[in-house]
Amino acid sequence: MSKIKRFVKVKRTALVLVILLSLVIQVPLLAQTDGAMSFIVANDWRYKTSGQFGGPEFFRGALLKIKEVGKGRFMLSPGDVSPMRDSRKLIAEVLGEDYLWYPSVGNHEMPEDGPYLEYFREWNKGGTSLPHIVRKGPPGSEETTYSFEIGDCHIAVINEYYDGESDHGMDGNVVPELLEWLEEDLKNTDKPHIFVAGHEPMVALPDMDNGRIRHQGDSMDKYPENNFKFYQLLKKYDVDAYFHGHTHCTSIGKINGVWQVTAGHTYGLERQTPDYLFQDAKDYLNAHSGSGLSEEQLLEKYFYAVRTYNIKKSLYYTNMTGGVDYHDLQDEPALKHFIEFYQKYKNDPELQKKYIETFDERSYQTRSTFLKVYLKNDQIKIDVYRDDARGGKYQLMHTYFIN
């Protein structure tokens, strides 16, 4: 194929995926759920499981609500759920040791973020350790790509960072080797409900409540030819829906006949608000009041005892970093900004209000979310539970009937 023809082909497939955005529909409907099989979809909570992030304003709050509304047969988690040991421990604590959990690999499970892939491989050792596995992944991704069947449901869980040889060689793609595995998997199931789950979207869609959009153009759509082939496979084998995370937004849309379900994030409190940050630091200071250290010394110990990245984010959105983005902010100036923030916040009620207003205006927080999916005969109902974007309790906010 000539370079000109190849260029035209790539541009055409990219254009198709752009056009898909204009064909999205989101129509809330109701369905009966008596006697229906159900499961949970939750993802992208990462480290919000223990320590200072172990409270109900984080992932624990979602689990408590899941326990209340019914945990279903299993939880499907399309990526960014590490550290997995902490995640599994908390899930087991709230929902039971025998509760089934099926995670997929996300971009924050890659080696540059830590040794998280090792636990994924252990979790599904040999590719068949998880209950109800029907097919292990292709060579190089035997344990991080798999399919399983429960009841009337077949789910293929794919690792989009698999490069055909290694399970961590790509940046979000469906390479030919993965597409070949997926087609073989889909054509060999006779279950009436078929789903595929992976971390990144075919096309990023806006959040259903605040319109926020992230990772458009740098997800699977970065590789338009493979992305279009993936879409064609889902269409060819009548896949009911593709579940994914990554964008931290929630949307349910039909794209040229294929449902894409964006499951948002289950962080709980997405970013530490000024009032939360101050109170958490104050609690730390009170707990260590007998140490003989000064306030500034204790604030320094607190700063390095927790994730400095999150403090930097809070300071940035409170406009306390001199305009330096939290990704670029070094620890030493961040610590100085943090001490200044704490001392001003505790002494000036009017400034407290200003900090909170500034944070709300700049942070554009998105509600934390989990989905409960019901299957009954040929019906698929999805209940969307969301918090208030400030770590509050989850409520049923939307219901969709997707076929």
Question: Looking at residues 336-354, what average pLDDT do you find?
Answer: 95
The pLDDT assigned to 247 comes to 97
Q: Name the least confident of 8-22, 102-116, 229-243.
A: 8-22
Tell me the HSE value of 342 on the side-chain side, using a 13 A CA sphere.
23
Pairwise CA distance, residues 78 & 64, whole Å: 20
Using CA atoms, how far apart are residues 244 and 196, in angstroms rounded to an integer?
9
Cβ atoms 142, 119 nearer than 8 A? no
d(CA 339, CA 328): 19
pLDDT for 233: 98
Give the CB-side neighbour count of residue 143, counting CA atoms within 13 A.
13
Its sign, for the CA torsion 135, 140, 143, 146, is: negative
* DSSP strands (E only) in 114-197: 133-136, 146-150, 153-157, 193-197
R_g (Cα) of the chain, nearest Å: 22
CA distances from 337 to 296, 316, 324, 331 (A): 12, 10, 11, 10
Q: Does residue 313 register a pLDDT over 80?
A: yes
Above 60 in pLDDT, residue 77?
Answer: yes
pLDDT over 80 (residue 340):
yes
% of the chain at pLDDT higher than 70: 92
Q: Please report the pLDDT score of residue 5 as a whole number.
A: 37
Q: Which residues pair with 265 in a beta bridge?
A: none
Question: Which tens digit of pLDDT belongs to each residue from 160-214?
Answer: 999 999 999 999 999 999 999 999 999 999 999 999 999 999 999 999 999 999 9
Whole-number Å distance between alpha carbons of 299 and 23: 52
How much of the chain, in percent, has pLDDT values that exceed 90?
A: 84
pLDDT of residue 306: 85
Per-residue pLDDT at 2: 41
Q: What angle do CA 217, 222, 227 make, to 5 degrees?
A: 115
**Rounded CA separation 394/390 (Å):** 11
* SS3 track for 222-238: HCHHHHHHHHHHHHHCC
As a whole number of angstroms, the distance between CA 8 and CA 229 comes to 16
d(CA 231, CA 326): 36
Q: What is the DSSP letter of 199?
A: S
**Averaged pLDDT for residues 244-255:** 96
- pLDDT of 131 reads 98
- pLDDT number for residue 145: 98
Provide the b/e sequence for 41-67 (b: ≥16 CB within 10 Å): bbbbbbbbbbebbeebbbbbbbbebbe
Looking at the predicted structure, is the pLDDT value of residue 4 above 60? no
Query: What average pLDDT is seen over the chain?
Result: 91
**Is the pLDDT assigned to residue 115 strictly greater than 90?**
no
pTM above 0.75, yes or no: yes
Q: What is the per-residue pLDDT across 12-65, written as a single tens digit (0 to 9) for each?
A: 344 344 434 434 444 444 445 678 999 999 999 999 999 889 999 999 999 999
Alpha helices by DSSP H, listed for 100-223, are 116-123, 176-186
Condensed to tens digits (0 to 9), the pLDDT of residues 123-157 reads: 999 999 999 999 999 999 999 999 999 999 999 99
**Position 320 pLDDT exceeds 50:** yes
